[in-house]
Amino acid sequence: MLTINLGIIGGGTVGGGVYQALKKNGSLMASRLSVRFRIAGIAVRNPRKKRLPHIPQSLLTKDWKSLVQNPKVNLVVELMGGTTTARTVVLEALKLGKSVVTANKALICEHGEELFSASEKYGANIYYEAAVAGGIPIIKVLRESFSGNRVQSIHGILNGTCNYMLCQMRESGLDFKTALQQATDLGYAEADPTLDVDGYDALHKICILASLAHGHWIDSSKTHVEGIRNILPLDVHFAQSLGYSVKLLGVVKTTSIEKKGIRPRIQVAVHPTLIPLDHVLASVNGVFNAVYLKGDRVGDSLLYGEGAGANATASAILSDLGDAALDHAFGSHRRVPPFVPHSESGSILPQSETVSPFYLRLSVVDRPGTLAKIAAILAESEIGISSVMQPEGHEGKSVPLIMMIHDAREASMNQALKKISRLKVIKAPPVLYRVENFID
């Protein structure tokens, strides 16, 4: 039986989870693949740190370079996170002709083109199933299972921390700060939750999926992102009363432009979105993730599961280890390249040009003529109102006025809101969220 020696870089939550998973299920994988995995070493910052699960001291080292350069190490597993040292580790391994397994979505998103180029140059491979949606096999689905489909849209709930917090805001009426503290106490949120709650974790993931689906690498710095930091329980409650659930949604859509010589542009964004309660994504609760895809041949598909945590991520890492081991065994290190440019669609559609329905909440003075003034400004911008709600039980100098807006260009909507904000009857900045009805 072939033995693959692993050099693991990182012994934290994910590294410890991979160690434990190999210890528990390594023999099962060997029986299924006829390949045995042996951990040659695990590079960590502090070998003396107490770890759960316990990792034998004999496996730990501070010197990642000697581990990567060890001629007995066949495969490098990068689990340290970050984009600086991790990039150096991966490039060093690739230059030595050693394939790499990684769970690092930021690294793949921000340096994917460079790393994939090095992979091709040195005849090694990069496996990154665990970089997006934890235990959900979405990378394999896009690269292999859906290779015969034009991907028309992707909608993903890709951050478990935000999904848990929004569920608590809906079910228990918690405000953002309290929901975040609860997520932190339960271990769902990082000590610094910025990447999660401001949407950048989900952005890294949706950019990777968009790149795979459309064959050209997406620059995350040019992609629209909004987090959940400013969402109020009030809007979560009103959305539910209107038949919607609020989710932080990653979106990839292909425009319907089909002119000769002009490629359709794609919309890529992350933002809070109202989803109909009867849609399957609205029922994705807690820390779970889901990816809803539409292909021109397969139609609608849903992949659902745990998107983070030691076990879910370790499951995806073990899947990649299996692929890498079989590729190594049969001498086909690039049987499935990490990324194949094919330019299925062209450039990114600017967010200002996107079109969607909207949820709009205004704080207004409750007096005759207020609605007429607002409606007149919207009409000037050719924006239609589908419904209006002024909830009872709100008294004071201002009251909430909720409008559901028909499909409108985002630029037109923003221009109208600037004019509306200047009205004397408006007492607070407008609150605007996009609505996704999943209608082609």
Q: Tokens for 73, please give them.
A: 């190490």
Catalytic residue among 62, 98, 121, 205, which? 205
On whether the CB atoms of residues 278 and 429 are closer than 8 A, the answer is no
Asked if 140 is an active-site residue, the reply is no
d(CA 249, CA 236): 15
The residues pairing with 405 across neighbouring beta strands, listed in sequence order, are 358, 385
d(CA 433, CA 210): 22
What is the Cβ-side half-sphere exposure of residue 349, based on CA atoms within 13 angstroms? 24
Start-end of H helices in 330-388: 370-380
On whether the CB atoms of residues 276 and 292 are closer than 8 A, the answer is no
Q: H or E element: which one contains 253?
A: strand 244-254
Residue 344 phi/psi, 5° resolution?
-60, -40
d(CA 254, CA 150): 10
On whether the CB atoms of residues 78 and 101 are closer than 8 A, the answer is yes
The CB density around residue 48, as the number of other CB atoms within 10 Å, is 9
d(CA 428, CA 216): 42
Strands (E), 10-133: 35-43, 60-61, 75-78, 99-102, 126-127
Q: Which residues are catalytic?
A: 205
